[in-house]
Chains A and B, each alone.
Chain A
Amino acid sequence: MSRVLLQNLEKKYPSGFHAVRDLSLEINDGEFMVLVGPSGCGKSTTLRMVAGLEEVTGGEIHIGDRRVNDVAPGDRDIAMVFQNYALYPHMSVRQNMAFGLKMRGTPRAEIERRVGEAADVLSIESLLDRRPRELSGGQRQRVALGRAIVREPKVFLFDEPLSNLDAKLRVQMRTEIARLHQRLKTTVIYVTHDQVEAMTLGQRIVLMDRGVVQQVDTPMDIYHRPANRFVGSFIGSPAMNFFPGRIDGGSFHLSGGGSIPLAGASSNGQFPAGPATLGVRPEDLTTDGEGLPLATVTLDVVEHMGHETMVHFTLAGADHIARLAPDIRAAPGDCLPLTVRPNALHLFADDEHGRRLN
């Protein structure tokens, strides 16, 4: 069993900087869990604590049934893929992949079998006798994956493994990693700052900000029901539009004028009256007149993308974006009445936490 359990995990540096605060998380056996968030949110620190490369200041880490706080990295039965690959430059690809097994005293025949199998899975048989400096970025990443696979660990740890690749290769490797997980069914903890990677790879996502977990959920639930304003703004591209205003009498009154009934925005129709922020994703703004009326806006910029049209507008002094149908006829300066899909209203409290109200 390779469940990973993090209980009240803390990381505080001697300088006083609190990198990870009271993080509790259970990663199920065979699950692909993604830690995502902006730079400095504590995701890599969390991963490194699981790996044993950072000391734990507080809390506990369990891999399987074993508490591993004081266990050396090499004894935790984990394998890690680094952002910069961390291939040993003075060893061949074969030696790189065999190194961990050699350290464990694995018989030579077994080492050769595992290296051969991993090379076959990753299509790097022809590279086995080359040195890392003779490989391209994508090839190096495959070798780094191969080095992890041969270990047959309980948990795979990925620390932003695709960050150094170009966009096209990133898409390709993303698919490879997904396929690999389906094949090996090993528990994976994957760190990234890229929300697209998080949404496409993760079975569940942990979104972190400033050392604190903001939400743990499936990609779809995080997307459709962000727990707070930060989650709403981080996930989704283009980012969610936020309209400040006030809840009163069952409607949301926008600061710039206009109001939207909130009858369908909550299961019980109950909202606390007071300042709040309305979040609407760009794709939930429409011009078909069938949704809830938002406002008639003057377009600043119109971008015809081919498969969609992005329009930029200003409302209540802030810039916003709407994602409209590709055949919409609009030009900068045009006035467009915008409506919102009734089930696409996200209401957030108007405080520092911005927690979801509906």
Chain B
Amino acid sequence: MREPRHITALRHAILLLFVAISVYPAINVFSISLRPGNRLRSTDLAIIPADWTFDSYVELFTEQPFLRWLGNSLLVATLVTATGVVLAAIGGYAFSRFRFVGRQATMLAILTTQMFPATMLLLPLYILIAKLGLVNTYLGLMIFYTSTALPFCVWQMKGFYDTIPVSLEEAARIDGCSQARAFWSVVLPLATPGLVITALFSFMTAWSEYIVAAQVMQDENMFTLPLGIKGFQASLSSQWGLYAAASILVSIPVVVVFLLLSKYLVTGLTLGSVKE
């Protein structure tokens, strides 16, 4: 039986409302980034103001160390992603395939760490970093981000590997592979969607994180993007144009990466829901 028209219209209206609520802040920030000067508020309802200008964007690249912050963020995020993917790939495999003393306890410990909010871990991790003499270093920041992202990534990869039949590895071993070669040639290619999620999660953790970076990094030359952008907001006078422009530019790589890898995201999230 066909759905009544008014129900369809109502359904679409509610969905549009929620889309508008989600998209409005981003549109507003985009609009602010195109306004000349530091106009946060405006009576003009147009998304693109009549006197739009790219001045804020130009100033970001020419008068602000935006590119340095970008480079710092890329460096940290890339290394955290690479480390996270490698460790989660092999750690998840170990938990999935091997039975060793302490396996259950370790898995429970991993699960337990997810119950704590990141801010609770901030002080103990900072003390650890300080004792290692890694405050104000990229390595210190990487350790922070990797150790907070890794438990989820390992758990996620473990679940993913559980969906890959062991018989595939057994077939590979009979075909002449060692266990390591079977992992590399057979299991890892099949775990690509899971690795993509791990990479995205690790990247997001490092790319847009502010609080930890604010504690660890003191040298302005080593600021990541969130730290640098926050500097545009002062107690007496905030540079809203620069703030908005930088926010838009910081979001673009993440959006691009999500769009490029969206098919893996869907596969990774739903695969494993039904056991083969």
A residues with a Cβ closer than 8 A to B are: 51-53, 72-75, 78-80, 82-84, 86-90, 99-100, 103-104, 147, 151
Chain A residues, CB < 8 A from B167: 82-84, 86
- Chain B 162-176 interface residues, beta-carbon cutoff 8 Å to A: 165, 167-168, 170-176
Within the complex, which residue of B168, B173, B186, B276 is in contact with A74, where a contact is CB–CB below 8 Å? B173
Given contacts A89-B190, A90-B189, A103-B181, contact A82 B171 (CB under 8 A): yes
Chain A residues, CB < 8 A from B176: 74-75, 100, 103-104
Interface of chain A, main secondary structure: loop
- In Å, the complex CA distance between A103 and B177 comes to 7
Residue from the set A75, A82, A83, A104 with the largest chain B CB neighbour count within 10 Å: A82
- In Å, the complex CA distance between A20 and B170 comes to 21
What is the minimal beta-carbon distance from A147 to any residue of chain B, in angstroms? 8
- In Å, the complex CA distance between A52 and B177 comes to 13
- Chain B 19-78 interface residues, beta-carbon cutoff 8 Å to A: none
Interface of chain B, main secondary structure: helix
Compute the total of residue contacts between A and B using a CB distance below 8 Å: 59
- In Å, the complex CA distance between A51 and B170 comes to 9
B174 touches A79 (CB 8 A): yes
Least CB separation from B181: chain A residue: A103
What is the minimal beta-carbon distance from A290 to any residue of chain B, in angstroms? 54
Chain B residues, CB < 8 A from A51: 170, 174
Interface bin, chain B: 10 to 19
User: Interface digits, B149-169 against A, CB 8 Å rule (1 contact, 0 not)?
Assistant: 000000000000000010110
Least CB separation from B192: chain A residue: A90
B165 touches A84 (CB 8 A): yes
Known A-B contacts: A88-B172, A103-B177, A104-B176. Give 7 more (CB < 8 A). A73-B170, A73-B173, A86-B167, A86-B171, A90-B190, A99-B175, A147-B175
- Is the C-beta of B178 less than 8 angstroms from some C-beta in chain A? yes
B190 touches A73 (CB 8 A): no
A73 touches B165 (CB 8 A): no
A86 touches B170 (CB 8 A): yes
Chain A residues, CB < 8 A from B177: 74, 103
Chain A residues, CB < 8 A from B185: 99
Which 9 pairs, one residue from A and one from B, show the smallest C-beta to C-beta distance?
A: A100-B175, A103-B176, A74-B176, A86-B171, A86-B167, A73-B173, A90-B189, A73-B174, A82-B167
B174 touches A88 (CB 8 A): no
Residue from the set B176, B181, B190 with the largest chain A CB neighbour count within 10 Å: B176
Given contacts A90-B189, A103-B181, contact A82 B175 (CB under 8 A): no
Chain A residues, CB < 8 A from B170: 51, 53, 73, 80, 82, 86
- In Å, the complex CA distance between A89 and B176 comes to 18
User: Interface digits, B178-209 against A, CB 8 Å rule (1 contact, 0 not)?
Assistant: 10010001100110000000000000000000
- In Å, the complex CA distance between A119 and B263 comes to 34
